[in-house]
């Protein structure tokens, strides 16, 4: 869901920009020097993941996977997903310039939210429980993204509201698929490399957990 | 990561006047262009803005067909939104479809958004999209973008292709085991595992990279040595862009 330039009113664009700058600054502050390569590579991974097309009915959708990004990256999801959106705008012409802030907030804020809601759940020793929280993160982040986009459009103008409602409706299958994929990915990580979820947590915090 | 000076002006061709301009000037110009275009309201000024985008695209020697295709393919969601606008905006009735009234006001609004979006994206692809990604990182750093963010960007630019290859390798492995995507749970589960595996492999790769870089004295910092020279042609470009945007603004106010 990339909003384009010119669709939103100025106050929404400015508010989005300020929020995005705040989130990115916080994300960068929480990322220590050692983590820069890992964060950059994760940003690249999620960029590649967004190119994957998943069949749905007669058509296909491309993945967003911001929930999974949030689970792994925490606040670092803000700069990482911002870089992804910036590169998409520059290379593919997706989205735009002034709406970059709004788009970043719409994608990264749900990721951070899901990180805090699900971080204990996905570390549960039972794989089924971990998968449930993974599904919640994957589906929930798409839902929150859709809601944020709707709010941005609704503040801009009344005439967008019916369309925005339909967009949320159209995103329910995407939500289900992303939730299911995220659950599967969490189950694989659970089995293969459970410490992946701790890669972006400061050392002291891991000891407490 | 070599000093950027050697490949500073490598873009598409490298022979056009535009590609020889200072990357910083191009980034700032395209940003201000976007801000001005978004605030325009009149059709004359917006059309001129789109023409300016086309002119820049031609000057940058971008392949016209491919670029136009890139610019026009918007998100399905946005196209849907634009198609809905005539039906949801109150105003003078244009035509009626299945009992829903489309209005001229909504149609104008949809056209306005389309023109704005296309003008901005065309200019962005021409002015900034032609900058080599590494040079772009250096230029952003010179424009006071935090160093950590620039490093993050440089790393992801460097590894996008590598990870894409990794992804294709995994896809080939799946194909070798007769995987065929379809609308079933098996497909979704397999793609979920694929994603998980991609993440596991990338984090392991990043650990190897960090160790290798530490061996070579990496202390969490690249030294961005690329020097940019702001020359006479850059000054002319800045002045011309400023006058053009000012003219666009005045035209919009007087004829909007």
State the pLDDT at residue B223.
78
Task: Give contacts of B67 with chain A, Cβ < 8 Å.
Answer: 93
Distance CA A16, CA B214 (A): 38
Question: Does the distance separating the beta carbons of A2 and B78 come in below 8 Å?
Answer: yes
Residue contact B192–A180, C-beta within 8 A: yes
For A48-60, what is the HEC assignment? HHCCCEEEECCEE
CB contact under 8 A, B88 and A31: no
Cα gap B1→A38, rounded to integer Å: 17
What pLDDT shows up at residue B14? Answer: 54
ipTM associated with this complex: 0.88
Structural domains in chain A plus CATH codes: 10-208 (1.10.1760.20)
Range in A102-116, A195-209, B43-57 with the lowest mean pLDDT: A195-209
In angstroms, the Cα distances linking B183 to A50, A60, B1 are 19, 10, 44
Rounded to whole angstroms, how far apart are CA atoms A80 and A44?
8
Query: Domain coordinates of chain B in residue numbers?
Result: 12-131+227-255, 145-215
Tell me the C-alpha distance between A106 and B221, whole Å: 30
Q: Point out the residue among B152, B182, B202 whose CB comes nearest to the CB of A83.
A: B152
Reported confidence tier of residue A115, pLDDT bands at 50, 70, 90: very high
pLDDT of A62 > 90? The answer is no
Q: What is the mean pLDDT of residues A157-174?
A: 81
Chain A CB contacts of B167 under 8 Å are 48, 52
What is the pLDDT confidence band of residue A124, given thresholds at 50, 70 and 90? confident
Residue B256, pLDDT above cutoff 80: no
Nearest CB to B191 within list A54, A163, A193? A54
In a 3-state reduction of DSSP, which class is residue A95? coil
- Chain A nearest CA to B116, separation (Å): 6
- Nearest residue in B to A29, CA atom: B148
pLDDT confidence tier of residue A56, bands split at 50, 70 and 90:
confident
Tokens of B243: 């006058």
**CB-based contact B210 A166, cutoff 8 Å:** no
Higher pLDDT residue, B227 or B132? B132
């Amino acid at each position: 869901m990339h909003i384009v330039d010119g669709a939103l009113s100025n106050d929404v664009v400015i508010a989005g920009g300020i929020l995005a700058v705040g989130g990115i600054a916080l994300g960068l502050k929480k990322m220590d020097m050692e983590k820069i390569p890992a964060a950059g590579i994760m940003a690249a991974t999620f960029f590649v993941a967004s190119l994957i097309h998943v069949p749905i009915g007669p058509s296909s959708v491309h993945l967003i996977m911001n929930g999974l990004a949030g689970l792994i990256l925490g606040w670092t999801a803000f700069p990482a997903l911002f870089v992804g959106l910036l590169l998409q705008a520059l290379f593919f012409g997706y989205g735009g310039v002034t709406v970059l802030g709004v788009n970043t907030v719409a994608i990264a804020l749900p990721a951070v939210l899901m990180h805090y809601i699900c971080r204990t759940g996905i570390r549960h020793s039972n794989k089924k429980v971990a998968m449930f929280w993974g599904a919640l993160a994957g589906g929930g982040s798409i839902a929150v993204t859709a809601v944020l986009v709707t709010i941005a459009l609704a503040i801009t103008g009344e005439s967008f509201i019916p369309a925005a409602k339909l967009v949320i409706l159209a995103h329910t299958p995407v939500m289900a698929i992303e939730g299911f994929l995220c659950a599967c990915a969490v189950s694989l990580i659970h089995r293969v490399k459970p410490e992946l979820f701790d890669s972006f947590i400061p050392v002291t915090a891991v000891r407490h957990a | 990561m070599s000093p950027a000076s050697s490949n500073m002006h490598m873009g598409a061709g490298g022979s056009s006047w535009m590609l020889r301009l200072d990357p910083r000037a191009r980034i700032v110009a395209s940003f201000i262009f976007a801000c001005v275009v978004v605030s325009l309201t009149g059709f004359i000024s917006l059309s001129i803005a789109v023409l300016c985008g086309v002119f820049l695209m031609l000057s940058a020697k971008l392949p016209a067909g491919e670029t136009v295709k890139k610019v026009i393919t918007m998100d399905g969601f946005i196209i849907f939104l634009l198609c809905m606008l005539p039906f949801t905006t109150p105003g003078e009735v244009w035509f009626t479809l299945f009992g829903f009234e489309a209005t001229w006001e909504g149609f104008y609004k949809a056209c306005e958004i389309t023109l704005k979006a296309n003008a901005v994206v065309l200019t962005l692809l021409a002015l900034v999209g032609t900058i080599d990604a590494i040079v772009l990182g250096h230029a952003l750093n010179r424009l006071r973008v935090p160093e950590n963010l620039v490093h993050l960007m440089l790393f992801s630019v460097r590894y996008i292709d590598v990870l894409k290859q990794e992804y294709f390798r995994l896809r080939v492995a799946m194909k070798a085991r007769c995987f065929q995507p379809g609308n079933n749970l098996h497909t979704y589960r397999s793609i979920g595992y694929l994603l998980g595996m991609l993440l596991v492999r990338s984090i392991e790769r990043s650990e190897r990279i960090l160790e290798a870089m530490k061996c070579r004295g990496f202390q969490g910092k690249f030294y961005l040595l690329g020097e940019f020279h702001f020359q006479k042609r850059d000054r002319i470009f800045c002045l011309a862009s400023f006058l053009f945007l000012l003219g666009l603004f005045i035209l919009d106010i007087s004829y909007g």
